[in-house]
């Protein structure tokens, strides 16, 4: 991008400055007037540079936030997968309990132990599900204000950039108009000089 070149802040040789110098040289503007326009143009140029820099920084922040969201999503998916594995393990244990119902007299103690283990696993599953749900809500609550703020800042920066582009466009139009007017004046001056030369020749011919 042109805005990222090494001499982007040097506007001393810009077309706008050159046009102002030409207008001063032709007497169409005074030096104070030209200096005022140079100052206004420099301020607009500086605002545009800052706007581009802010937009670039905001886009970097948005990229980092997206990376963080992806990482957190991966963690949540792993937690959910572990919870699913626990659920499957519980289902397997319950199947074993069903088979053990025919051996109540011999495996009563084993069944009680399995029931206790099932309850522990169910509690662990519930805790994991609660943790996943809490983490999801917390993450959404923490990131949403940042995302909203970032989107608002980007939108504001774009609006500011559009306003500065319009101002620069207007300044270029004024410069073009001034250059056209100067060209017209130079043409008129040439016509006057030609007419004056013709009058001199006529005067020389008519002298006694």
DSSP per residue, 172-188: HHHHHHHHHHHHHHHHH
pLDDT-derived band at 205, boundaries 50, 70, 90: confident
| Residues sharing a CB contact under 8 Å with residue 114, sequence separation 6 or more, in sequence order | 93, 96, 97, 100
In this structure, what token pair is assigned to residue 172?
């270029």
Q: What letter does residue 102 receive in the DSSP assignment?
A: G
pLDDT digits (tens, 9 = 90+) for 145-177: 988 988 999 899 899 999 989 999 999 999 999
What is the reported pLDDT for 18?
Answer: 86
At residue 97, does pLDDT exceed 90?
no
Give the pLDDT mean for 79-96. 84
Query: Which secondary structure element, helix H or strand E, spans residue 5, and what is its range?
Result: none
At residue 121, does pLDDT exceed 50?
yes
What's the whole-number average pLDDT of the chain? Answer: 85
DSSP string, 140-156: HHHHHHHHHHHHHHHHH
What is the reported pLDDT for 15?
Answer: 85
Give the pLDDT mean for 59-66. 91
pLDDT digits (tens, 9 = 90+) for 130-140: 989 898 888 88
pLDDT digits (tens, 9 = 90+) for 177-189: 989 988 999 888 8
Q: Is there a contact between 96 and 114 (Cβ–Cβ < 8 Å)? A: yes
What's the start-to-end Cα distance of the chain, in Å?
Answer: 73
Domain residue spans of the chain: 29-160
């Amino acid at each position: 991008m042109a805005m990222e070149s090494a001499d982007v802040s040097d506007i001393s040789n810009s077309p706008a400055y050159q046009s102002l110098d030409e207008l001063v040289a032709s007497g169409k503007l005074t030096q104070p007037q030209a200096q005022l326009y140079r100052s206004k143009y420099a301020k607009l140029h500086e605002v545009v540079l800052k706007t581009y820099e802010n937009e670039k920084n905001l886009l970097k922040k948005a990229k980092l936030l997206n990376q963080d969201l992806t990482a957190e999503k991966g963690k949540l998916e792993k937690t959910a997968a572990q919870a699913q594995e626990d659920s499957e393990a519980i289902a397997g244990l319950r199947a074993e309990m069903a088979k053990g119902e025919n051996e109540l007299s011999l495996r009563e103690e084993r069944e009680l132990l399995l029931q206790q283990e099932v309850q522990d696993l169910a509690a662990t599953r519930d805790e994991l599900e609660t943790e996943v749900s809490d983490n999801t809500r917390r993450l959404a609550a923490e990131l949403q204000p940042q995302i909203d703020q970032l989107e608002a800042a980007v939108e504001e920066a774009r609006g500011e950039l559009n306003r500065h582009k319009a101002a620069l466009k207007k300044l270029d139009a004024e410069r073009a108009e001034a250059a056209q007017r100067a060209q017209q004046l130079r043409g008129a001056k040439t016509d006057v000089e030609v007419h004056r030369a013709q009058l001199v020749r006529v005067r020389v011919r008519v002298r006694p």
